[in-house]
Structure 1
Amino acid sequence: MKGHKMSSKKARIVKTSILVVLLAIVVGVNIALSNFAPVITQYFSKIDITSKEAVAARSKSTKLVNKITDEGVVLLKNDDNTLPIKKSGTGKTKVNVFGWDFTNPIYGGTGSGGVDTSTAVTPKAGLEKAGFEVNEDLYNAYASFSKTRPQVEMNGQDWTIQQPEPSKFYTADRMKKAKEFSDTAIIFISRAGGEGADLPTSMNGKDTFNPKGTQGPTGQKFGYKDDLDSNKNYFEPSNREMGMINTVTKNFKKVILVINSSNTFELGWTKNYNQIKSIVNIGGPGQNGFLSLGRILAGTVNPSGRTVDVYAKDLLDAPSAKNFGDYSYVIKNKDGSYSQAMDSKKVPLKFVNYAEGIYVGYRYYETAAAEGAIKYDDKVMYPFGYGLSYTTFDQEVVPNSLKWNDKDISVKVKVTNTGSVAGKQVVQLYYSAPYTGKIEKSSVDLAAFTKTDMIQPGKSEVVTLSFKVSDMASYDYNKVYSSTGSYVLEKGTYKLMLMNNSHEKIADVTSKALDQVVYDSQGRPTDKKVATNQFDKYVTGEGSIKNYLSRANRFANLKDITTYKTYTVGTGKTAAKVKGVLVDSNFVNYINSKRYSIPADTHKTAPTTDAKNGKKLKNYVGVDYNDKSWDKLLDQLSVKDLVALSTLGGYKTTAIKSVGKPATVDYDGPSAISAFISKSKVSGIAFPSETVIASTWNVKLAQEMGACVGAESKAYDTTGWYAPAMNIHRTAFGGRNFEYYSEDGLLSGKMAAAVTKGFQSLGGYVYMKHFALNDQETNRTFGILTWSNEQAIREIYLKSFEIEVKEGGAKAAMSSFNSIGNTWAGACSALLKSVLRDEWGFHGMIDTDFYINGKGMSAYPYMTYELGVRNGNDLYLTGVAPVGVPSANTDSKDTLWALREAAHNILYTVANSRVVKSGFAADTPTWVKLTIAIDVVAVIAIGAGLFFVLRDGKKREESLA
């Protein structure tokens, strides 16, 4: 009896233990689910594209995509009026289209700019819709060659230019049949680009191809052996493509070249082929933009797009291209060998020198030609702002319409359609400021632009162009005119020109002698605070550029702006050649101090927390940012609230119960609202690339686009949008040029401001990005040290952001991965506070680019949280929170005050969005409801099990007693 009693007791203990363990597991799982709730919710969230509101918004977006591509396609050449293609009789017009890319084109970019191509209109469908019959045999032959485009993604790039081998594919029989099908040949060439890597400057270099390689992480690339050519770059026809071009031009006298690329393509070679009569650039046309290609080739749409970058004959000839790519700081070891310089967290120290200063794009080519340093036609294929039409226009300044006072300039221009086809015209106004040698200046700068409505043949339209006198001021970072640095209008004659583009002048509007104006005691009319040198401590001293390109003596120092050597770092199999400069351990320590040293506290007391003031965020809708009543609300936040608001910023802002702040959903996607972090991967309607949008030169269309994306965002219950991106096309090889508008800050800024106005008009907010100088992808996640001078920073790289804030009213921003000189952009108080907030009047919130602190995952440790939040970076894009979320030092009083300031910025932004204005609060997610239901059932079951085990055990003990 005793043994039976003992075994029964053991069984009861085992059963009880199992049930207790199960209960512990349930509790543990719930704790884990609670911690990961935001990520799980986002993963299971789904963009509902079937709601009435969503269907209406998507329909409007779809129509607008076509309007944008109709105006964004650029006609670069049209000899013998080859376009539009003449119709053949009453049937469909037959065309041969050569090039594998026609079967698998580029719609946009990759990474955050990816386009859902499953429902996209193909170029073949676009041509057929316009009344063309495409040679099916030729098309199917290309499709049979390959159905898959080589991958260009954030995690790896395959730069193979997919084309069949010419000698085997373009047989005499195939070409004979093609000529019998049609006497018109179209050559279709595409180029991809995307987040994570820049585009190859050599078709056979360490940064391009490994023919025997396999697809791998960023930086490993490969291609066809016969395409390897160190004398070519990615934006020239490959050897296989040249074989195709040679064959097609030998067999056809009338050839149309279509370029499908958001990056500038090198086209000087086309001058060798008289058969190439017309050249069209379609860019990345988005969801259904290829319909526009068909309409333009057919002539039902008259092209009116203009280039947004200068088309150089040699893309590597530009000064900026000579300082673009992979550059390392190198240390010489005691044994004479060399090694890659690393910071204390083992991050390689990489850099890029913006040694060309302000002479980017057309500003270099136009100025160098004006100085006699180059022959323009030898260097430039097509100017900035260039484009053809199927009609002709006259432009003339309306007599007595010029108004020029101390602050403003405006002029009216009459545009007359002198041709036989209705069309739109872009009107461009440029200025030329006097060059004294004291401050660098371009010979011409875009001052203002506009686009006409549709003008019928023989009809005219009068447009007004205006800008501020202070817009012609240059930034004197060398302190020639003031002790602080300032914007300056130097004394001299300022000229105003009406131009077809950056090179072809229509008429001199006027010239005027101005006295010197130094904006040091009183800022420019648009400034909230006087602009003074802010970046000296970041971009001068150790590591900085000593020699910037100067216009003096016909750019005599051009040869001196690249002074790098090649070193072999490592030994044996790990040995590699790197280009860069030598540094010593003192420089490494200097960078470490900028990246990782946290200053001692300056505050003696901590901010008030956990107050019971009864305030809710809804009470602060429309309350001025500087209103003292915000303190009452901020005092209610707990330390936990402050940390959560700042650190849980991955594609959202988090809910805060103490002040009634609802969570917001903030999605990515420069071309559309994109739920790529959710299980559904559903996206909004993909708009054309920013390059195509800018090519319209139509700010009205840009604002309509913003409104359309805003309407979709509202329909999808999202509030924030990680866009627009407005970094500069510093070179043609930028991996994310598709996501940026132009090489020109004014054009970029006006377009971005219009998009922002449209989007925010529906109660959302944009995160303008990537702030700032994030103009190349190479080494971006190493916090690449980006060296420039304050004049170039302000006049070239911050110009678009300045316009976006002052005119577009951007309510949020995203800081960039790179460093401004020696300091991570997200911890650069001059950038985030002094310029953005103080000078420009920005009151919104600032998010980081993707952030992770390295707990078992790849990390960007130079993005030091304490330095970032103290210097104005409010929110952290922690995509898989709580994994990777930074730890805030809440023992630091300075950090707590910085968190309070960040909370103010975040709450102010959200309070003035529709999520609070409309009282919207997300329903409890389905997965949470299911979890609660399962929890209830599990707890009841475990509780019942424990009850019965204990009850039965007690009965057995009583019966055995």
Structure 2
Amino acid sequence: MESKKKSKKKSRIIIRSVLIFLLVVVVGVNIALNHFSEVITAYFTKMDVTSKQAVTAREQSKKLVEQITDEGIVLLQNKDNTLPIKTDAAKKTKINVFGWSFTNPIYGGTGSGSTDTSTAVNPKAGLEAAGFEVNDKLYNDYVALNMQRPIVGMDGQDWTIPEPETSFYTADRMKQAKDYADTAVIFIARSGGEGADLPVSMDGPDTFNPKGSQQGPTGQKFGNRDDLDANKHYLELSNREKGMVEAVTKNFDKVILVVNSSNTFELSWVKDFSQIKSVLTIGGPGQNGFNSLGKVFAGKVNPSGRTVDIYAKDLLDTPSMKNFGNFDYVVKNADGSYSQAVDSQKVRLNYVNYAEGVYVGYRYYETAAAEGTINYGEKVQYPFGYGLSYTSFKQEMVPGSLAWDDKNISVKVKVTNTGAVAGKDVVELYYSAPYTGKLEKSSIVLGAFAKTGEIKAGESQEVTLSFKVEDMASYDTNKAYTSKGGYVLEQGEYKLMLMNNSHEKIADIGSKNLSQVIYDSTARSTDKQTAVNQFDSYVTGEGSVKTYLSRANKFANFNDIDKNEKFTIKTADGKATVDVKGKLVDTSFVQLVNDKRYTVPADTKTSAPTTGAKNGKKLKDYTGIDYNDKSWDALLDQLSVDDMVNLIVHGGYKTVELTSVGKPATVDYDGPSAISSFISKVKVSGISFPAEVVVASTWNVNLAEAMGQCIGAEANAYGVTGWYAPAMNIHRTAFGGRNFEYYSEDGLVSGKMAASVTKGYQSKGGYVYMKHFALNDQETNRTVGILTWSNEQAIREIYLKPFELAVKEGGAKAVMSSFNSIGNTWAGANTGLIKQVLRNEWDFKGMIDTDFYMNGGGISAYPYMVFELGIRAGNDTYLTGVAPVGVPSVNTKSNDTLWALRDASHNMLYTVANSGAIKNGLSTDKPMWVKITIGVDVVVVLAILAGLVVSFRKSRKKEEVAV
């Protein structure tokens, strides 16, 4: 009996222990959930695309997607007027399409710029909607191969090209196709995305690695290793594709080539096949852009797109390709061997030299041809700004319309449709500035452009083109005319040319001998502060470019700009050696980089800012208040230190709520082609717009602005305020992994498009984060803070130009800084870039967020992105996408840091105050997962407590009975 009592008592103790343990677990889980609440909320947040507002906005977007692709398709060749194809309303027009990619095309790109295209219109449906009947037997034969689109992007790269072997094109299959129709289409696609640049050699570990992993080359499931030809690059015909082309041209005399790639594809091989009559490029057409392909084929749309990059016959031949890819800094060891140079945090030191200077794309080829250095026809397939139409146009200056004074240039151009069908045309105005040898200059530069409306056959339209005289000034990096650098309009003859493209002149518009103007004591009219050299301390000295490409003596130094050497270095573990291409540096250079990256200067402020004041101010009262108005101080004084830290360190896909000043939370999402919630469990996006290169190919700024408006309307429907777009880095080479989400090789085209998209989106109450600021023009080594070397002239005239226009003309309110370094300093901590150029020169008023940030709490994914240096340089908030993991710790004992936090808070509050977020009020509603958790907590805790109460009551009764 006694043992039975002891047993029951023991059971009660065990039950109580279990219940108490469960209570502790519940408390612990709730602490963890609270700690990770932000990332959990982001994960479970789902965009509502079903509301009436969302449905209406999405339908408008779909219409515009098609309009953009209608004008963004570029017709590159059309011999014998093969296109359009005559269709019969009474019956479908039959057509064959060759190429596996036709069954699995490219709609855009991968990475943060990717969008949901699960319901997108495929090219087969697009052709069928236009009245064509596609050879189903051939189509299904491709589908039956069970091939997959390889991974290209942040989850690894597999660069094998999914096309069947030449044996697929049997005599029986080709006979069936010939019997079906006499027209053949060859469809070729290439992908690109965030995380990797496209291979310049289709072989080796950089292309295919069966043991690969995330962020690196991986293995292909179905093989076709025979396509990995070391003598070929990714943007030319693969061996299998060449076999397909040969099989098709052997059997068909009327062949149309469609290139589905946002990266410039090498097309010099087309001349070898006379059967290929027509060539067009569609880029990444987005949600329903393939409908445009069918309409162009049928002649329902007259193509009016123009190239936004020059098409070189050999894409590896451009000056930029001499310095593109992976280059290592190496140091010599005491034993005479070489090792990879690393900084104090074990981050590899890599670099890229922009040694071509301003001679990017057409600027090199047109200038080299003008100098007699190259034979243009041997080097260039299609010029920049080139495109064909189904009709013909005549462009002529309206007599007496040229107005050219000391400040402005304006001219009217009459465009007449001299053909038989209606169409749109692009008007391109170029200028030529005198080359004296003191400042580098392209022989021609695009000065202005315009897109006509639809012009009926025999009718005309007038367009006006204008730009400022000061826009023709060149930047004096080496101080030939200035003491500190600056823009200079050199004395000499300036010419204006109306041109079909960068190479074919229509007419000389006018010329003028201008006097020298040096913008050193006074700023250009669009600058708030006079431009002077701001990057000397970052891009000069050891490790930098020593020789930049010069036009002098017909580019005599062309072969001198590639100074990269080959080294055999030890691997990190010291167990093997590998061959690398790079540059030898000594330890003083490594120490310099360490100092720039990790040394935080001593405080200069002797007191801290006021915090936690009770002034009763609310952010809603500051809408429309000038940024420099003194009344902001009263609001900023109310912020506690914790308020400022919370606002700044939690900038991933949002800005946080601050009840102390009545600031609402905002939701900020990616990406350049649509509002995208790719970080959520359910990956949903807005309507996928065409890749930015397609938008630019329209040469229609009105369509770009309408795109911004449509995405802004969608954002409102989804409850989104900030948009991580537009992206506007430069197509420095054809092989940039993210070229799909950048506009062009030209800063003017890129900037005008970006400014228009920005204006459109922000008109709906949101703000854009223009990105990636700046010189983030390749993916290779970007996450190790690659040291990007350029000179101030190229930086300003080429790489900053799009951002400048997005701020000055588009009114951009937010910026995303970039991973890379400019010279020896991370872009996000580059005071010359952020404070001097962006804020002081361009008068930018807004906030700056980093690119993805994980550098805190024991995690050093990107240790060179030092918080203290960034915040002091004016980089306001940090894209901590998996907060609280990787969130920086803040030295709140530093007065300088506290004042930087206050400035950053001012920038962020100003931006939000002037957005539509203020109208939405405070975001006090708890997320659904929190409500569910609270409900579960209540039930579980009550159950545990009830169990404990019952247990203790039973125990007490037993004790009373015993007494």
1:616 counterpart (612, 615, 618): 618
Tell me the equivalent position of 1:201.
200
Tell me the equivalent position of 2:905.
903
Say if 2:665 and 2:922, in contact at 8 Å, map to a contact too. no
1:218 counterpart (211, 216, 219): 216
Cα distance in 2 between the residues matched to 1:830 and 1:560: 29
Cα distance in 1 between the residues matched to 2:121 and 2:480: 56
Task: Give the TM-score taking structure 2 as reference length.
Answer: 0.97
Aligned residue runs from structure 1 range 674-693, under 5 A: 674-693=676-695
Cα distance in 2 between the residues matched to 1:146 and 1:159: 18
2:936 is paired with a residue whose SS is: helix
Cα distance in 2 between the residues matched to 1:554 and 1:267: 27
Tell me the equivalent position of 1:125.
125
The verdict on how the C-alpha distance between 1:508 and 1:287 changes in structure 2, with shifts beyond 3 A counting, is same
Equivalent residue letter for 1:808? G
2:769 is paired with a residue whose SS is: strand
Tell me the equivalent position of 1:329.
329
1:283 is paired with a residue whose SS is: coil
Say if 1:47 and 1:683, in contact at 8 Å, map to a contact too. yes
Cα distance in 2 between the residues matched to 1:496 and 1:122: 44
Cα distance in 2 between the residues matched to 1:687 and 1:89: 31
Cα distance in 2 between the residues matched to 1:638 and 1:14: 48
| Shift, 1:600, TM fit | 0.8
2:49 is paired with a residue whose SS is: coil
| Shift, 1:10, TM fit | 5.9
Cα distance in 1 between the residues matched to 2:919 and 2:925: 17
Tell me the equivalent position of 1:425.
425
| Shift, 1:29, TM fit | 2.0
Tell me the equivalent position of 1:728.
730
Percent identical across equivalent pairs? 71
Tell me the equivalent position of 2:57.
57
1:914 counterpart (913, 916, 919): 916
Cα distance in 2 between the residues matched to 1:225 and 1:883: 40
Tell me the equivalent position of 1:444.
444
1:119 is paired with a residue whose SS is: coil
Once the two structures are overlaid, the 10-residue window that deviates more, 83-92 or 382-391, is: 83-92
Tell me the equivalent position of 1:150.
150
Tell me the equivalent position of 1:470.
470
Task: Give the TM-score taking structure 1 as reference length.
Answer: 0.98
Equivalent residue letter for 2:494? Y
Q: Can you list the C-alpha shifts for 1:857-893, whole angstroms capped at 9, x where unaligned?
A: 6701111111111111111111110011011111111
Tell me the equivalent position of 1:815.
817
Aligned residue runs from structure 1 range 869-908, under 5 A: 869-908=871-910
Equivalent residue letter for 2:306? R
Q: Can you list the C-alpha shifts for 1:736-791, whole angstroms capped at 9, x where unaligned?
A: 00000000000000001100111111100100000000000000001000000000
Say if 2:129 and 2:291, in contact at 8 Å, map to a contact too. yes
Tell me the equivalent position of 1:338.
338
Cα distance in 2 between the residues matched to 1:381 and 1:669: 32
| Shift, 1:215, TM fit | 6.2
Cα distance in 2 between the residues matched to 1:39 and 1:208: 34
* Pairing 1:32–2:32 present: yes
Q: Can you list the C-alpha shifts for 1:279-324, whole angstroms capped at 9, x where unaligned?
A: 0101100011000000001101000000000000000111001110
Cα distance in 2 between the residues matched to 1:89 and 1:832: 59
Say if 1:5 and 1:960, in contact at 8 Å, map to a contact too. no
| Shift, 1:59, TM fit | 0.3
Tell me the equivalent position of 1:191.
190
Say if 2:157 and 2:207, in contact at 8 Å, map to a contact too. no
1:957 counterpart (945, 949, 959): 959
The verdict on how the C-alpha distance between 1:197 and 1:329 changes in structure 2, with shifts beyond 3 A counting, is same
| Shift, 1:38, TM fit | 1.8
Cα distance in 2 between the residues matched to 1:838 and 1:287: 40
* Pairing 1:277–2:277 present: yes
Tell me the equivalent position of 2:286.
286
Cα distance in 2 between the residues matched to 1:799 and 1:747: 10
| Shift, 1:245, TM fit | 0.7
Tell me the equivalent position of 1:178.
177
Cα distance in 1 between the residues matched to 2:927 and 2:561: 57
Cα distance in 2 between the residues matched to 1:737 and 1:515: 39
Tell me the equivalent position of 1:110.
110
Cα distance in 2 between the residues matched to 1:632 and 1:956: 67
Say if 1:197 and 1:219, in contact at 8 Å, map to a contact too. no
2:331 is paired with a residue whose SS is: strand
Cα distance in 1 between the residues matched to 2:126 and 2:575: 51
1:847 is paired with a residue whose SS is: strand
The verdict on how the C-alpha distance between 1:4 and 1:890 changes in structure 2, with shifts beyond 3 A counting, is farther
Cα distance in 2 between the residues matched to 1:584 and 1:56: 62
Say if 1:115 and 1:287, in contact at 8 Å, map to a contact too. no
| Shift, 1:709, TM fit | 0.4
2:367 is paired with a residue whose SS is: helix
Once the two structures are overlaid, the 10-residue window that deviates more, 485-494 or 935-944, is: 935-944
Tell me the equivalent position of 2:540.
540
2:447 is paired with a residue whose SS is: strand
| Shift, 1:934, TM fit | 2.1
Cα distance in 1 between the residues matched to 2:147 and 2:40: 35
2:917 is paired with a residue whose SS is: helix
Tell me the equivalent position of 2:675.
673
1:118 is paired with a residue whose SS is: coil
Say if 1:846 and 1:873, in contact at 8 Å, map to a contact too. yes
Cα distance in 2 between the residues matched to 1:74 and 1:494: 31
Tell me the equivalent position of 1:163.
163
Cα distance in 2 between the residues matched to 1:554 and 1:675: 51
Say if 1:439 and 1:475, in contact at 8 Å, map to a contact too. yes
* Pairing 1:518–2:518 present: yes
1:294 is paired with a residue whose SS is: helix
Say if 2:771 and 2:815, in contact at 8 Å, map to a contact too. yes
1:837 counterpart (836, 839, 842): 839
* Pairing 1:486–2:486 present: yes
The verdict on how the C-alpha distance between 1:607 and 1:855 changes in structure 2, with shifts beyond 3 A counting, is closer
Once the two structures are overlaid, the 10-residue window that deviates more, 632-641 or 344-353, is: 632-641
2:703 is paired with a residue whose SS is: helix
List gaps (5 residues or longer) in structure 2: none
| Shift, 1:224, TM fit | 2.7
Aligned residue runs from structure 1 range 561-640, under 5 A: 561-570=561-570, 574-640=576-642
| Shift, 1:399, TM fit | 0.6
The verdict on how the C-alpha distance between 1:5 and 1:228 changes in structure 2, with shifts beyond 3 A counting, is closer
Say if 1:256 and 1:277, in contact at 8 Å, map to a contact too. yes
| Shift, 1:486, TM fit | 0.6
Once the two structures are overlaid, the 10-residue window that deviates more, 3-12 or 131-140, is: 3-12
| Shift, 1:633, TM fit | 1.1
Q: Can you list the C-alpha shifts for 1:492-544, whole angstroms capped at 9, x where unaligned?
A: 11101111111111010000011111111111110011111100000011211
Equivalent residue letter for 2:48? D
Cα distance in 2 between the residues matched to 1:30 and 1:155: 32
* Pairing 1:828–2:806 present: no
Tell me the equivalent position of 2:82.
82
| Shift, 1:936, TM fit | 2.5
1:849 counterpart (840, 848, 851): 851
1:25 is paired with a residue whose SS is: helix
Cα distance in 2 between the residues matched to 1:606 and 1:13: 56
| Shift, 1:598, TM fit | 0.9
Once the two structures are overlaid, the 10-residue window that deviates more, 455-464 or 566-575, is: 566-575
Equivalent residue letter for 1:866? E
| Shift, 1:214, TM fit | 5.7
| Shift, 1:570, TM fit | 2.0
2:907 is paired with a residue whose SS is: helix
Cα distance in 2 between the residues matched to 1:87 and 1:953: 91
2:882 is paired with a residue whose SS is: coil
Cα distance in 2 between the residues matched to 1:358 and 1:535: 16
1:785 counterpart (784, 787, 791): 787
1:658 is paired with a residue whose SS is: coil
Name the count of aligned residue pairs.
959
* Pairing 1:799–2:798 present: no
2:941 is paired with a residue whose SS is: helix
Once the two structures are overlaid, the 10-residue window that deviates more, 853-862 or 134-143, is: 853-862
| Shift, 1:727, TM fit | 0.1
1:48 is paired with a residue whose SS is: coil
Calculate the aligned-residue CA RMSD, in Å.
1.7
Tell me the equivalent position of 1:410.
410
The verdict on how the C-alpha distance between 1:922 and 1:550 changes in structure 2, with shifts beyond 3 A counting, is farther
Tell me the equivalent position of 2:248.
248
Tell me the equivalent position of 2:529.
529
Equivalent residue letter for 2:724? Y
1:145 is paired with a residue whose SS is: coil
